C-alpha cells in the first residue's frame, strides 16, 4: 500500500494537478489549503481528504498536522505578489511573503518531519523556483523567500543524513498556472510562450516518489525548453 501524501497549496493550479495525479496513482491524499470552497470541490472531484489550515499559524499547524500519519509531503503553498523592487515592498506585502513562504514552510516541516523521522521513512518535496538562484527572474523579496526555501531543502537533507527520509526540491521556471497574474505587470506572460504545464510538474513529482527508496532526486531544475537564465546587464553612466 502506498503511503499517505499531504499536498499544501492544493487548490492552486499545480497543487490541484498533483492531488489528482497522486490519487489516480493510488496514494491516499490529504489536500491542504486556506480556501474551503476550493478544497471541497477538489475533494468531490478526486476523492481526496481535505484540511483547511493557515500554515502561517504555528500553533494551529502543529495541532492539525503533527498527528497525521503521512509518508509524503509535497509543499507547494506560497505567495508570489506583485513585481516590485525590494525597496518599494510595502510592510503588508513583506509580512505576507515572509510569513507564508518562509515561516509557513518552517511550520509545516516542524509538524511533519519528526513523525516521519521517528518512523524512519518518508519523502519530502518542496516546490521552489529558479528565482532562488537567478537574480532578476522574480520580485526581489519573493526571490529571497525562495532562496530561503532552497537553503532549507539543502540543510534538511543534511540534518536527515543517516535516515531513510528523502528530501527533494523542484526549482520551477515559468509554469502556466495563473499565479503570474499576481505580478500585476501588465504583461501577458503565457501567450505565445511554451510554458511548463501543471501536469508536467505532477508527472515529474510522481517520478520522484516512485524511484526506489534507496534513490533520492535532490534538486531538479524544471523549465520550459526556450527559457534560460544567466548573463549580465551592464548599464552606461
Residue 212 lies inside a defined structural domain of this protein: yes
> What pLDDT sits at residue 233?
78
With a threshold of 0.85, does the pTM exceed it? yes
Residue 227 lies inside a defined structural domain of this protein: no
> What pLDDT sits at residue 237?
82
> What pLDDT sits at residue 225?
93
Residue 201 lies inside a defined structural domain of this protein: yes
Q: Find residue 221's DSSP bridge partners.
A: 171
87 is catalytic: no
Residue 228 lies inside a defined structural domain of this protein: no
All 3 cell numbers of residue 48? Answer: 481526496
The residue annotated as part of the active site, out of 87, 142, 158, 190, is: 142
DSSP class of 133: T
The mean pLDDT values, 10 residues at a time, for the chain of 237 residues are: 96 96 98 97 98 98 96 96 92 96 98 97 97 88 97 98 97 85 67 90 97 96 91 80
Q: Which domain holds residue 11?
A: 5-222
> What pLDDT sits at residue 161?
95
Residue 230 lies inside a defined structural domain of this protein: no
Residue 229 lies inside a defined structural domain of this protein: no
Q: Name residues whose C-beta falls within 8 Å of residue 32's C-beta, 6 or more positions apart in sequence.
A: 6, 7, 8, 9, 10, 50, 51, 52, 53, 55, 77
171 membership: H or E segment, kind and range: strand 165-172
Residue 231 lies inside a defined structural domain of this protein: no
The total number of structural domains in the chain stands at 1
* Cross-sheet strand order for the sheet of 29-33: 49-52, 29-33, 5-8, 72-75, 122-129, 165-172, 219-222
Q: Are 30 and 48 in contact (CB under 8 A)?
A: yes
> What pLDDT sits at residue 184?
62
What CATH number does the domain containing 24 carry? 3.40.50.720
Residue 234 lies inside a defined structural domain of this protein: no
> What pLDDT sits at residue 188?
74
Amino acid at each position: 500500500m502506498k503511503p499517505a501524501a499531504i499536498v499544501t497549496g492544493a487548490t492552486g493550479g499545480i497543487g490541484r494537478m498533483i492531488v489528482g495525479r497522486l490519487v489516480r496513482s493510488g496514494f491516499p491524499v490529504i489536500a491542504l489549503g486556506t480556501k474551503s470552497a476550493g478544497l471541497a470541490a477538489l475533494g468531490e472531484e478526486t476523492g481526496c481528504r481535505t484540511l483547511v489550515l493557515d500554515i502561517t499559524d504555528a500553533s494551529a499547524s502543529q495541532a492539525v498536522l503533527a498527528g497525521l500519519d503521512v509518508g509524503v509531503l509535497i509543499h507547494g503553498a506560497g505567495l508570489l505578489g506583485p513585481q516590485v523592487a525590494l525597496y518599494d515592498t510595502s510592510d503588508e506585502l513583506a509580512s505576507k511573503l515572509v510569513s507564508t513562504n518562509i515561516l509557513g514552510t518552517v511550520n509545516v516541516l516542524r509538524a511533519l518531519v519528526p513523525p516521519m523521522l521517528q518512523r524512519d521513512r518518508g519523502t519530502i518535496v518542496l516546490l521552489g523556483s529558479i528565482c532562488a538562484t537567478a537574480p532578476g527572474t522574480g520580485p526581489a523579496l519573493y526571490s529571497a523567500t525562495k532562496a530561503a526555501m532552497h537553503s532549507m531543502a539543502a540543510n534538511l537533507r543534511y540534518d536527515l543524513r543517516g535516515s531513510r527520509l528523502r528530501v527533494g526540491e523542484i526549482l520551477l521556471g515559468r509554469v502556466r498556472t495563473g499565479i503570474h497574474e499576481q505580478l500585476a505587470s501588465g504583461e501577458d506572460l503565457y501567450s505565445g510562450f511554451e510554458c511548463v504545464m501543471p501536469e508536467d510538474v505532477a508527472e515529474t513529482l510522481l517520478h520522484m516518489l516512485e524511484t526506489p527508496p534507496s534513490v533520492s532526486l535532490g534538486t531538479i531544475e524544471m523549465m520550459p525548453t526556450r527559457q534560460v537564465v544567466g548573463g549580465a546587464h551592464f548599464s552606461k553612466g
